[in-house]
Structure 1
Amino acid sequence: MNVPIKVALIGATGKVGKPLLKQLLDQGYQVKSLIRKPQSYSITHPSMEIVAGDIKDLETVTELVKGCDAVISVIGQLKDEPLISSLAASNLIHAMNKEQISRYIFLTGLTLDMPGDQKSAANQQGSAWMKQTFPVVVADKEKAVELLQQSNIDWTIVRLPWIEETEEKKQLVVDLQDCLGEKVSTAGLAAFLIEQLSDPRFIRKAPFVASI
C-alpha cells in the first residue's frame, strides 16, 4: 500500500491557498497547514493537520515540515507587515535540511528577474515600476532567491501575473523566459503547483505561468 505524500502548506487561508488545499486533499495528499490564528480557522479534514504559528519563527517552521515530503508556500508580502521573503527562505532552508526534506515550491510575481529571461517590453516596464515603487520588498525577494540558490534545496519558483480567483481550470502556458498571459486562474495554478510535487522539469528553475 502506498503511503500518501505529506505536504507542508504555507498560506492555506489565502486566495491561492484555499483552492490548493482543497485540491491536495481531494487528490489524497496529507497536509500540514501553517495557520497563524487557528482559533478562527474552521476547515477540518482527516488528512489535514494544523500547526499554529508564524513562518517567522524557526521552531514553528521546524515543527511544520517535520514528517513531510515537500513544502509549498503561497504566501505573499502583506502591507504594513515585516518583510517575509528572505526570513521565510532562511527558516525553511534550515528546517528542511534538519528534517532532510528537499522539495520546495513557492510563488512570486513577474518582477523577479532570473538568468535567461527575455521579458516583453510591457513586462520589463512593469518590473521596473515595481522595483522603483517597492524597492525594499523586491530586494528582500531577491535575497530569498540568493539564499535558495546557495542551498541544496530542490526549489521551484513559480512566477505569476495577476491572479484571477476562479474555479475554472483554464489552460496554462508555461515559459522560462517570459510571461505569455496577463492572468492566471487560481484553480489552474493550484493544479500546476501539485504537479510539481512529482515533476522534476522545473527543479531549480523559475517558470512563468499564465492562463490562456
Structure 2
Amino acid sequence: MKQIIKIAILGGNGRTGKFLVNQLLNQGFSLKLLIRDPNKFSVNNPLIDIVAGDALDEDKVDTLIEGCQAVMGTMSQREGEPLLSSTATRYILKAMLKYEVKRYIVLAGINIDTPFDQKDIRSRMATEFMKANYPVPHADKQKSYAILAESSIDWTFVRVPLIDFDAAITPITINLENCIGDKISAASIAAFMIDQLTKDDFIRQAPFISNA
C-alpha cells in the first residue's frame, strides 16, 4: 500500500470529524480539510491545509484531493440543504481516479444495507425507522454505497449505531453482517477509521462497529 503522508478530510469540522482530525494530528499526519466556513474552524496547526468550499462543488473536491494519498469522510446530510452523499461521492471518486488515490474510508449509519447483511430485529427496526422518517437522505446515502460498490477504489464503508460524543476510546465489536451494540463513542470511530489506513482487512467492505 502506498505510504500515506497527507489525507484529504471531508466533514472534519463536524462533531465526529473533530475527533478524527485531532487523532490524526496526534499521530503526525498532514491533513487537507474541506471547510465551508474556515472562520468556524478553531484548530490551528501547521499540519493542516484548509480548502474553503463545499463538497457539492466539484472543483473544490478536486482541489482537496490533489496531493493526498487517502481520503476520509465523516459528512452528514445537512437539514434543509441539497442532498450531499451521492453527489459528493461521485466527485470524490472522480478526483481520486484523476490523482491516482486508492484509499477512501467513509462513515455511515447502520441503516444502510448491503447484500451481505444478516441484520437482527433491532438493527432492522433502526433501518426501517430511518427509511420511514428520513426516506430521501436515506436513499441518497444508500445510493452512495452503490456508487462505491461499482468503483475500482479501495473503499471501506464504516457503519455505526448511535454516536456517543465521549473522548474515550473503548474496545469495539466488528461485524460484517449485523451491528452488535447500540452505541459507539466518536473517539472509537476515529481510532477505527485511522487504523484502516494501514490495514486491508475491510477493503471494499462495510463493517458494522460498536462499543463492546
- The answer to whether the superposition gives a TM-score over 0.5 is yes
Q: In the alignment, what sits opposite 1:112? A: 112
Distance in structure 1 (CA, Å) of the matches to 2:40 and 2:121:
44
Would the aligned equivalents of 2:110 and 2:208 in 1 still touch at CA under 8 Å?
yes
Matches within 5 A, 1:142-153: 142-153=142-153
Counterpart of 2:131, as a letter, is K
Q: In the alignment, what sits opposite 1:82? A: 82
Structure 2 residue 132 is the aligned partner of structure 1 residue 132? yes
Structure 2 residue 48 is the aligned partner of structure 1 residue 11? no
Q: In the alignment, what sits opposite 2:21? A: 21
How far is the alpha carbon of 1:198 from its aligned partner?
0.7
Distance in structure 2 (CA, Å) of the matches to 1:161 and 1:59:
33
Q: String of CA shifts for 1:158-180, please: whole Å, max 9, x gaps.
A: 00100001111111111001111
Distance in structure 2 (CA, Å) of the matches to 1:13 and 1:26:
16
- Structure 1 stretches of 4+ with a deviation exceeding 3 A read none
Q: In the alignment, what sits opposite 2:68? A: 68
Q: In the alignment, what sits opposite 1:170? A: 170
Distance in structure 1 (CA, Å) of the matches to 2:39 and 2:73:
21
How far is the alpha carbon of 1:4 from its aligned partner?
5.9
How far is the alpha carbon of 1:123 from its aligned partner?
1.1
Indicate the RMSD between aligned Cα atoms, in angstroms. 1.1
Matches within 5 A, 1:39-78: 39-78=39-78
Q: How many residues align?
A: 210
Counterpart of 1:203, as a letter, is I
Counterpart of 2:8, as a letter, is A
Q: SS where residue 16 of structure 1 aligns?
A: helix
Q: In the alignment, what sits opposite 1:159? A: 159
Where does structure 1 lack aligned partners over 5 or more consecutive residues?
Answer: none
TM-score by length of 1: 0.96
Counterpart of 2:74, as a letter, is V
Counterpart of 1:210, as a letter, is S
Q: String of CA shifts for 1:88-118, please: whole Å, max 9, x gaps.
A: 1110011111111011010111111111211
Distance in structure 2 (CA, Å) of the matches to 1:12 and 1:93:
18
Would the aligned equivalents of 2:9 and 2:71 in 1 still touch at CA under 8 Å?
yes
Q: SS where residue 198 of structure 2 aligns?
A: coil
How far is the alpha carbon of 1:40 from its aligned partner?
2.9
Distance in structure 1 (CA, Å) of the matches to 2:42 and 2:148:
34
How far is the alpha carbon of 1:203 from its aligned partner?
0.5
Would the aligned equivalents of 1:10 and 1:74 in 2 still touch at CA under 8 Å?
yes
How far is the alpha carbon of 1:39 from its aligned partner?
2.5
Q: SS where residue 95 of structure 2 aligns?
A: helix
Would the aligned equivalents of 1:4 and 1:30 in 2 still touch at CA under 8 Å?
no
Would the aligned equivalents of 1:4 and 1:28 in 2 still touch at CA under 8 Å?
no
Would the aligned equivalents of 1:163 and 1:186 in 2 still touch at CA under 8 Å?
yes
TM-score by length of 2: 0.96
Counterpart of 1:102, as a letter, is K
